[in-house]
Amino acid sequence: MSPSGSASKQARDSARDKVTQLRKAQMRAERRRSIAVWSATATVAVLVAGIITFSIVREQQNKPSLKQVATYTVEQGHTDKPVTYPQTPPAGGEHAPAWLNCATYDKPVPNENAVHSMEHGAVWITYRSDLPAAQVTQLRKAMPDTYAVLSPFEGLKAPVVASAWGRQLPLTGVNDPRLAEFIREFRQGPQAPEPGAACSGGTDGTSAAPGMGS
């Protein structure tokens, strides 16, 4: 090989070595960038997960407790006779064939009809008859559009009592935060024997509405 050919080969080898080294450097730089991106993504994911977990824990800590809800085992069935209930107001039991239309009432309603509504998944919110009008208005605003009955009730030991089928909670008043939690927990809840059954088309408490089904 002539000197010029040897020099040309050396130049080509040197060029290849430089290209190889450049490619290796580029690959190392790309790996470093990938690691940096992955690390940043992982860090963000951990931070987001931590924030979500913290929010959930804080929400659970601030959630009103329903530990004081009383649970009752109650009978189910229809009767045309007046029923003497062990709870005041009733928290379930035998009831009239006609359910009470879910609504707000200014006067006491028949227990036997209201109990039938609870069988269908309604919550029954009762309040003392001497509760100030402004507080009654607050209760009205707190009621869901359906599957809820609001009415005064004579002889309550608490200012407001929340009832559902087999469940009951005395409340300190209209601002008790457990009221909204009770409604969320037990309205159309699994404790009701017939959740989703009709809550309208029954009786408003002034008529027997004979022939109504379950």
Q: Examine the pLDDT at 52 and tell me if it is beyond 70.
A: no
| Chain mean pLDDT for the chain | 86
CATH number for the domain whose boundaries are 70-186: 3.40.30
Select the more confidently predicted residue: 183 or 30: 183
Question: How large is the average pLDDT for residues 57-71?
Answer: 77
The most confident of 15-24, 43-52, 70-79, by mean pLDDT: 70-79
- Residue 214: name the closest of 118, 78, 94, 109 by CA: 78
Please give the Cα distance from 82 to 55 (Å, whole number): 50
- Quick: pLDDT tens for 142-162: 999 999 999 999 999 999 999
Please give the Cα distance from 179 to 164 (Å, whole number): 12
Question: How large is the average pLDDT for residues 37-58?
Answer: 64
pLDDT-based confidence at 1, cuts 50/70/90?
low
The rounded radius of gyration (Å) of the Cα atoms in the chain is 35
Instruction: Determine the pLDDT at residue 33.
Output: 79
- Quick: pLDDT tens for 118-137: 999 999 999 999 999 999 99
Instruction: Determine the pLDDT at residue 50.
Output: 65
Q: Examine the pLDDT at 87 and tell me if it is beyond 80.
A: yes
pLDDT-based confidence at 59, cuts 50/70/90?
very low
Instruction: Determine the pLDDT at residue 210.
Output: 41
Domain range annotation of the chain = 1-62, 70-186
Contact 119, 111 (CB under 8 A): no
Contact 159, 183 (CB under 8 A): no
Report the alpha-carbon angle 139-140-144, nearest 5: 100
Q: Tell me the pairing of strands 123-127 and 160-164.
A: antiparallel
pLDDT-based confidence at 194, cuts 50/70/90?
very high
pLDDT-based confidence at 20, cuts 50/70/90?
confident
Which residues, at least 6 apart from 87, have a Cβ–Cβ distance to it below 8 Å? 70, 72, 163, 168
Q: What is the pTM of this model?
A: 0.71
Report the alpha-carbon angle 48-54-56, nearest 5: 105
Instruction: Determine the pLDDT at residue 57.
Output: 46
